[in-house]
Amino acid sequence: MPEDLPQDRRLRASWLASSVGEALDEDLGAEPGRDVTTLATIPASTVVSGQIVVREAGVIAGIPVIAETLQQVAERLNLHSPTVHLLAADGDRLEAGAPVADISGAGHVVLIAERTILNFLSRASGIATHTRRWADALEGTGARVLDTRKTTPGLRELEKYAVRAGGGTNKRFGLFDCAMVKDNHIVAAGSVAAAIHAIRSAYPDVPIQVEVESAAQAHEAIDAGARFLMLDNMPPAQMRDLVRAVREREPDVRLEATGGLSVSNAREVAETGVDFMSVGALTHSSPILDIALDLS
């Protein structure tokens, strides 16, 4: 299952290079690309020093973006890449005002790279901070918080990385690595069992997860060979009864709560005995963390 994969994976270097390049293209415009304010007001020989700091308490994530962005801007300008001294690591909890990194180098490079760096860092750190609240709420229960595919197009790699940095667990990365049978698939296939059998026939090596809304659907899925059930929008009492029934029948079946979840009811739901809780809001509704670059 995807959630069994190592949860300390780094950002993919190819994604990092490509995404930073696209972000810079977006900011600087068509070739050769330019920052009209910086290039007009600051001499090319100017050297600056500054510090990236968090303006509010939170969990930092996305630090590899700093060096990558500076390097790419430097290459575009045919200048040396600024020196970066990291003062924090992804996953660290930082208080307001805490430093993330010291930067020193060509002013053109630093100021052109500034907003791209902060956009990525702020987004990733907001997700990591939100995820950390969930991980803290579930601590000691045995349940883990999972992310979903409700991500910003083009930023899934970063956003799922941020979930990991915040203490959460990645579920499937896309439509290719895990079959997830939901209500519309059940309707289209004719039944839970029919959907499971069709996937087994077409893609025998792909793990299957099934969303169920009742005990009857849960037992039908288990009869068809499912070993991962998503209990959709169930009140805690109903969920607790179903978890108990499934555990008595098939102890190895994994159970996930989904829908209607919040940090305030996280422990109550976890105490029903589920293994996981999937929370789309980790990636689709996390506010950014306020981060800035201050020149000295």
Q: What is the pLDDT of residues 161-210, one digit of tens each?
A: 999 999 999 999 999 999 999 999 999 999 999 999 999 999 999 999 99
Architecture of domain 2-129+287-295: Alpha-Beta Complex (3.90)
Average pLDDT over residues 250-269: 96
**For position 77, what pLDDT does the model report?**
95
Beta bridge partners of 211: 230
**Among 34, 55, 93, 182, which one carries the catalytic annotation?**
182
**Among 159, 232, 256, 275, which one carries the catalytic annotation?**
232
Q: How confident is the model at residue 5 (pLDDT cuts 50, 70, 90)?
A: confident
Residue 150 a catalytic site member: yes
Average pLDDT over residues 114-122: 98
Give residue 100's Cα distance to chain centre. Answer: 20
**For position 30, what pLDDT does the model report?**
83
In the chain, which segments carry CATH 3.90.1170.20? 2-129+287-295
For residues 249 and 222, the answer to whether their CB atoms sit within 8 Å is yes
Please say if the pLDDT value at position 65 is more than 90: yes
Please say if the pLDDT value at position 59 is more than 90: yes
**For position 1, what pLDDT does the model report?**
76
Q: How confident is the model at residue 6 (pLDDT cuts 50, 70, 90)?
A: confident
Percent of the chain predicted with pLDDT > 70:
100
Average pLDDT over residues 1-18: 87
Q: What is the mean pLDDT of the chain?
A: 96
Whole-model pTM: value is 0.96
Beta bridge partners of 210: 181, 229
- Give the model confidence (pLDDT) of 212-234 as tens digits: 999 999 999 999 999 999 999 99
**Among 34, 93, 115, 133, which one carries the catalytic annotation?**
115
Please say if the pLDDT value at position 278 is more than 80: yes
For residue 250, give the amino acid letter.
Answer: E
Residue (of 7, 31, 173, 150) closest to 90 by Cα position: 7
**Among 68, 90, 211, 256, which one carries the catalytic annotation?**
211
Report the CATH number of the 136-284 domain: 3.20.20.70
Residue 93 a catalytic site member: no
**Among 150, 200, 227, 267, which one carries the catalytic annotation?**
150
Residue 160 a catalytic site member: no
In the chain, which segments carry CATH 3.20.20.70? 136-284
Residue 90 a catalytic site member: no
Q: How confident is the model at residue 4 (pLDDT cuts 50, 70, 90)?
A: confident
Please say if the pLDDT value at position 45 is more than 90: yes
Measured in degrees and rounded to the nearest 5, phi and psi for residue 72 equal -65, -40
Residue 9 a catalytic site member: no
Q: How far apart are CA 145 and CA 127, in angstroms?
A: 13
